[in-house]
Amino acid sequence: MPDEELTEVQEPEEKGKEQPEEKAPDILISGLDMRRLVELDACTRCGECLNWCPVYDQDSREDIIPRKKVTDFLKIIKSQQGVLSHIMKDQKLPAPLRKLIGAIFRYKEIGPSEVKDFVKNLYECSTCGQCHIVCPANIETVQLWEDIRRLIVDAGYGPLKPQKALVKSVKAYDNPWQQPRAGRTKWARRAKKEKLINDLPREIKKTGGKILLFLGCTAAYDINVKQVAVSTLNILEMLGVDYGILGKDEKCCGSVLLRMGDQEFERLASENIKTFNELGITTLISSCAGCFKTIKQDYPKVGRLNFEVLHTVQFLRRLLEEKKLKFITPIEKIVTYHDPCHLGRATGVFDDPRIIMDAIPGLELVEMPRNREYSRCCGAGGGLKSGYPDIQNKMAQRRVKEAEETGAEELVSACPFCFQGLQVGITATNSDLVMRDITFLVETALKEKE
Ligand code: SF4
Ligand code: SF4
């Protein structure tokens, strides 16, 4: 397969596999832990999340907002598993009696088509976490949506058809882009040929290094985003860091599976944890906000990590403070910074990229009105880009407009996924903004001016 333009892979039409209309498979609410169950009852329906949701901004349907999702989910559960539902399903009771009880207690049976509508709404969400930040009831909405998605997948309703292709690809090829495993290192050979890097990256299994650079699928496979891998590698080389990569043995972090609700995530995470621990590394670094969040926050729920996990910006900030990172070439540019949801809101890494950019001579950072924990999501995550590409496109355009209004020349982020997502908006609006990953700025400022 060519690695030129990675587009979302589509699931072929499945014929004859639709759920029968007469019976909706039960969604097992017992799969939710106590906190989630309490949260289902905690929503006060205040609607604050509605004012901030970047998806609702582009598709103003009541059905997709958090309070409605919670209400609809509860209706399904009550219909399938409430005491009344058991009475209504009890065939030993005469039908007229069941009908009467149903009328008295206003019982409403929820059929498969209504469940499917709910599922479509549930997946029309980038799991950006903005609703959690603004929620006065402090509901952990992203965790709630992901847990409900897991129940939905277990009951056979999810994910959506276009998202299934990504999930299948991760299971079959260890990457969501339907690319062969051997192609994972192709970017490096190509980058060396184009003189973007001096040497092919060292494989950690051969060197026994203490720092593992985890590249992630998007930087490794998407030719338009390989700059993130190239720049990260060049930075580590210039700074003389003893590091290695896994090469063709690197596997997807599994974020795609987790965000879509597929339980296979645990298998993939366990395998990766075993591989990382056996390497004897002290530190894992990643330039991908999605991989970073998944390995740092979600892996410890699956198994123990014998090493620290850092995003590249945290690693670089550390080197800056130890005076090992010194910028020699000014960058006379005005830039604005997009906080990736998985780096900012999810893991609280807001200062590190700003401190690094502040230290680059000549560089001027202007903030967008929505920054840090209020950063407007570009729509690339949570399966939204594959399930609802038009919505993602509009979300990216909205963010690009906000970036343009700052007067910046370049739009900087710290995630290959955001790079891909925001580039969609730049292209769609014919914007003059140049998309950059922060690693590119660091690399440029570290090098002698050519
Ligand atoms: S996680 Fe983001 S996209 Fe999803 S409902 Fe909350 S604010 Fe909207
Ligand atoms: S902000 Fe929180 S409490 Fe208010 S409607 Fe949204 S989820 Fe419910």
The CATH number of whichever domain residue 354 belongs to comes to: 3.40.50.1860
Q: Are residues 302 and 189 in the same domain?
A: yes
Task: Provide the residue type at 363 as one letter.
Answer: L
Q: Are residues 182 and 313 in the same domain?
A: yes
**How far is the CA of 359 from the CAs of 143, 236, 239, in angstroms?**
36, 18, 16
Q: Which of 40, 43, 50, 69 has most ligand 2 atoms within 8 Å of its beta carbon, as the pocket-test mutant?
A: 43
CA of 67 to the centre of ligand 2 (A): 6
Q: Give one DSSP letter per residue of 20-58, joined into a string.
A: PTT-PPPP-GGGS-HHHHHHHHH-----HHHHH-TTTTT
Residue 20 lies in a domain: no
Q: Are residues 259 and 224 in the same domain?
A: yes
Q: Whose CA is nearest to atom 4 of ligand 1?
A: 125
* Single residue among 292, 320, 348 that ends a domain in this structure: 320
CA of 126 to the centre of ligand 1 (A): 6
For residue 141 the two structure tokens come to: 């909405």
Q: Which of 128, 374, 376 has most ligand 1 atoms within 8 Å of its beta carbon, as the pocket-test mutant?
A: 128
Across 146-230, where does the E strand assignment appear?
211-214
If one counts the domains in the chain, the total is 3
C-alpha 323: how far from its chain's center? 33
Q: Are residues 199 and 306 in the same domain?
A: yes
Q: Are residues 307 and 334 in the same domain?
A: no
Query: Rounded CA gap, 90 and 292, in Å?
Result: 50
Residue 16 lies in a domain: no
Residue 377 lies in a domain: yes
CA of 70 to the centre of ligand 2 (A): 10
pLDDT confidence of residue 223? 86
Residue 95 lies in a domain: yes
Q: Are residues 302 and 336 in the same domain?
A: no
Q: Whose CA is nearest to atom 3 of ligand 2?
A: 43
Count Cβ atoms below 10 Å from residue 173 Cβ, excluding itself. 20
Query: Rounded CA gap, 429 and 421, in Å?
Result: 13
- The DSSP letter of residue 300 is G
Decide whether any atom of ligand 1 lies within 6 Å of the 379 Cβ: no
SS3 content of the chain, % helix, strand, coil (to 5): 50, 5, 40
- Can you give the CATH number for the domain in which 62 is found? 1.10.1060
Query: In sequence order, what are the residues at sequence separation of 6 or more whose Cβ sits closer than 8 angstroms to the Cβ of residue 437?
Result: 227, 228, 231, 287, 412, 413, 414, 415, 416, 419
Q: Are residues 128 and 239 in the same domain?
A: no
pLDDT confidence of residue 124? 96
* Single residue among 128, 158, 188 that ends a domain in this structure: 158
Q: Whose CA is nearest to atom 6 of ligand 2?
A: 49
Closest to 415 (Cα-Cα) out of 333, 337, 357: 337
Q: Whose CA is nearest to atom 4 of ligand 2?
A: 46
Q: Which regions in the chain score pLDDT beneath 70? A: 1-24, 29-30, 81-93, 97-110, 206-207
Residue 9 lies in a domain: no
The Cα angle at residue 188 between residues 232 and 322, in degrees rounded to 5:
20
Closest to 261 (Cα-Cα) out of 160, 341, 347: 160
* Single residue among 320, 340, 367 that ends a domain in this structure: 320
CA of 195 to the centre of ligand 1 (A): 42
For residue 414 the two structure tokens come to: 């710290």
CB 318 within 8 A of CB 248: no
Q: Which residue has the tokens 């880009």?
A: 385
Query: Rounded CA gap, 443 and 438, in Å?
Result: 9
CA of 393 to the centre of ligand 1 (A): 16
**How far is the CA of 348 from the CAs of 289, 342, 363, 372, in angstroms?**
11, 9, 24, 9
Q: Are residues 316 and 427 in the same domain?
A: no
Residue 7 lies in a domain: no
Q: Are residues 279 and 328 in the same domain?
A: no
For residue 357 the two structure tokens come to: 């950019």
Q: Are residues 345 and 261 in the same domain?
A: no
Count Cβ atoms below 10 Å from residue 143 Cβ, excluding itself. 16
For residue 367 the two structure tokens come to: 């903030």
Q: Are residues 208 and 97 in the same domain?
A: no
CA of 388 to the centre of ligand 2 (A): 24
Query: Rounded CA gap, 290 and 309, in Å?
Result: 13
Q: Which of 56, 130, 391, 398 has most ligand 1 atoms within 8 Å of its beta carbon, as the pocket-test mutant?
A: 130
Residue 49 lies in a domain: yes
CB 249 within 8 A of CB 134: no
Domain limits for position 214: 174-320
CA of 430 to the centre of ligand 1 (A): 27
Query: In sequence order, what are the residues at sequence separation of 6 or more whose Cβ sits closer than 8 angstroms to the Cβ of residue 129?
Result: 141, 142, 341, 345, 346
Residue 1 lies in a domain: no
Q: How big is the chain by its Cα radius of gyration, in Å?
A: 24
CB 344 within 8 A of CB 375: yes
pLDDT confidence of residue 13? 46
Q: Are residues 442 and 359 in the same domain?
A: yes
